[in-house]
Structure 1
Amino acid sequence: MHMMISMLTITVTKMKLPEPLFVIINPVMRLVLSSPLHFVASRSLLLMRYRGRRSGIWRTTPLRYVEDGDVFRCFSSRNTQWWRNLEDGAQVTLTVRGKRVDCEAAVVTDQARARALLAAYLEQFPQDAAYHEVSLTPNRQPDPASLERAAANSVVVEARP
């Protein structure tokens, strides 16, 4: 853990997993989340099955999510590729807490709304701040300046049944 002290905030940056590990982690999480053992991770992770926009191949990606009524929200970096398949809206199948849910998914394009949703997400999952390069204040709230930068580099996907 790295700690940096400034006049306004104390920035705590937790270590994030190296990207190459996800080559191992994602298949394991796909297996766990689609099994009867899903309960060990399904309170905060789901599987999203979507069709590649060019290839037509179905893919399944494990994602952290928040649930807001009947809306499932997932957050990612713009540097990843999976979300591009949903830019124009797409039918997806989510596996949430062991149940399959057919949904229409779309990328949130309003930047102010995406920023507010990212802030709410990081309040619920402050441990994910490092993945979005967001600093946290001493009371574990997203630092406004780093949140603004992160929002420009983040993607919010909403899926509705």
Structure 2
Amino acid sequence: MAWVLRSPLHGLLSNGMMLITITGRKTGKTYTTPVGYYMEDGAMWVITSRERTWWRNLQGGAKVDLLLKRKPVKGFADVELDERSVEAGIVEYLRHIPQAAKPMKIRVENGRPDPQDIANTAKDRLFVKIKLNA
């Protein structure tokens, strides 16, 4: 996926995917990973699994480098771990990306995601909020 996002073919994925590069707090090593995102209220929002480890370097806030539509962009990221906030974020995420409900095992009836499914999913997920540098 990363090679597509770096290539002239990036348009296939760039409207909802980007590369994020973070620096390890202990090692100083940089890590780059593809992530899905959406824009809301002037910020980028990334949902990820709590089992992944890259986001831990962002706790308390950290600078990040992004490859967004094949353009390098700098930002400041922080992690949202509170389950209630994550639940609200998932509802918003599904509003932007409704096709994500099925892979996240969230049932949708009459256009509304199931609240219990949202609560269950929030236990395993978190959001990274990224403010882009002006």
Question: TM over 0.5, yes or no?
Answer: yes
Of 61, 66, 77 in structure 1, the residue corresponding to residue 49 of structure 2 is 77
**Is 1:47 equivalent to 2:27 in the alignment?**
no
Between Structure 1 and Structure 2, the one with more strand by share is 2
> Any stretches of 5+ residues in structure 1 without a counterpart?
1-28
CA displacement, residues 102-130 of structure 1 (integer Å, 9 cap, x when unaligned): 00100014432221111111222232224
**Is 1:66 equivalent to 2:32 in the alignment?**
no
Between Structure 1 and Structure 2, the one with more helix by share is 1
Using structure 1 for the length normalisation, give the TM-score: 0.74
Matched AA of 2:122: A
Using structure 2 for the length normalisation, give the TM-score: 0.88
Structure with bigger gyration radius? 1
CA displacement, residues 53-111 of structure 1 (integer Å, 9 cap, x when unaligned): 23221111111100124311000111111111111211101111122110010001443
Alignment match, 1:3: none
- The 5 A counterparts of 1:15-30 are 29-30=1-2
Alignment match, 2:124: 153
Q: CA separation in 2, counterparts of 1:131 and 1:140? A: 16
| 3-state SS in 2 of match to 1:85 | helix
| 3-state SS in 2 of match to 1:79 | coil
Q: CA separation in 2, counterparts of 1:30 and 1:55? A: 23
Alignment match, 1:142: 113
Question: Does the CA-based 8 Å contact 1:126-1:140 persist in structure 2?
Answer: no
Q: 1:98 to 1:110 in 2, by over 3 A?
A: same
Runs of 4+ in structure 1 off by over 4 angstroms are: none
